Amino acid sequence: MEQSCKAFKVGSCEGEKVVDGETMPLVLHPAEANKNDLETLLLTLKNNKEWFEQMIIKNSAVLLRGFDVNSAEGFNEIVETCGWENIRYVGPAPRTQIYKRVWTANEGPLSEFIYYHHEMVLFKDHPLKVILYCEIPPPEGGETPFVPSFKVTEKMLKEYPEWVQIMEEKGLKYTFTARSTQNDTSSMRGRGWEDAFGTSDPIEAEKRANALGMDMEWQPDGGVKTILGPRNLTKVFEGRKGRRMWFNTIVGMHGKELSSATLVDGTEIPEHVVKRCGEIIEEESIQFKWQKGDVLFLDNLALLHGRRPSLPPRKVLVATCK
């Protein structure tokens, strides 16, 4: 696949890495410095739609930089022009709709590290693309690190072949306990099950959870434990070079106050395996400094992503697509 396209100028950014011969992220600038207006960008995307999508799959991450994207409305037009269908977000992140397909990425406290994940990894349908737009770049921290998922599988296979095999064969089980909004005084995440399932009726909430493939166990304090499983450890997706993606969230959920990740029969995954896996994810991570107007396209089937703690202000908006 031709890396260059005369409609864009290929650039580079600090922090990029070459993974298996592909630069991540692929940085695309305006073809001519004085043609950085939104209209030209939209036209260029429209005329090179197929090529652009192939670049996202090939390089896993594409960063549009140097274009005059200065509002959620402008970002929404970019998303619409790409033409991929919207997928509704389901998950623990507190989000607010800003404009049409554009939402806040996560309103959890900026001091919190949002741990690496494939978006909606535990559900049947996951977005194929996660698109992020930087309206206000953070003064310090606040990067959106991402990780080529197959690299994690490769290293884990090398270091813990038996455990990879056991987890793959048996499957994984996750639990997550959501408090009731009525009892939740914490500022962390701040979402009770009422918000997560969009209803304060427990019967309706349970119906919605079941539809998403979760079981529920109600707690004496009004909270609920959601149980998901069996789930795969890795997945291979069409068109991704047969790469085995680390399509799970064991490091993020294992042994936490409100969550767990075990084998499907409840057997614990050894602490040192999970810890080393966390180190591998960090070793393989790629990050750059956000600049105002950046638009980042992530192949959600190929990359884990997260958010580093940030000093305020920081405003990064998101759209998720099928």
Binding residues for Fe ion, rule: CB under 5 A, are 119
Residue number with CB closer to Fe ion (8 or 237): 237
Taking the least distance from each CB to Fe ion, the nearer of 116 and 150 is 116
DSSP character string of 77-118: HHHHHHTPPB----SS----EEETTEEES--S-TTS-EEEE-
Percent composition of the chain: helix, strand, coil (DSSP 3-state, to 5): 25, 30, 45
Order of strands, sheet of 315-321, starting from the edge strand that comes earlier in the sequence: 8-11, 26-30, 61-64, 295-299, 129-136, 315-321, 102-104, 97-99
Q: Minimum distance between the CB of residue 121 and Fe ion, rounded to whole angstroms?
A: 10
Which lies closer to Fe ion via its Cβ, residue 119 or residue 206? 119
**Which H or E run includes 153?**
helix 149-159
Shortest approach of Fe ion to residue 11 CB, angstroms?
25
Q: Please, which residues bridge with residue 8 across strands?
A: 30
What is the Cα 21 distance to its own chain's centre?
Answer: 23
E strand or H helix that includes residue 295: strand 295-299
Nearer to Fe ion, 143 or 206 (CB): 143
State the Cα–Cα distance between residues 227 and 306, nearest whole angstrom.
23
With CB atoms as reference, the residue minimizing the distance to Fe ion is 119
Give me the least distance between CB of 119 and Fe ion, in Å please.
Answer: 5
Q: Which is nearer to Fe ion, 146 or 163 (CB)?
A: 146
Q: Which residue has the tokens 């494939």?
A: 118
Q: Identify the three-state secondary structure at position 72.
A: helix
Pick 89 or 218: Cβ nearer Fe ion: 89
Instruction: Decide: 318 and 72 in contact? Cβ < 8 Å.
Output: no
Q: Which is nearer to Fe ion, 119 or 184 (CB)?
A: 119
Place of tokens 């790409």: 82
Which residues on adjacent β-strands are paired with residue 103? 97, 318
CB of 16 to Fe ion, least distance (A): 21
CB of residue 168 to Fe ion, shortest distance in Å: 24
CB of 132 to Fe ion, least distance (A): 9
- Least CB distance to Fe ion at residue 130 (A): 6
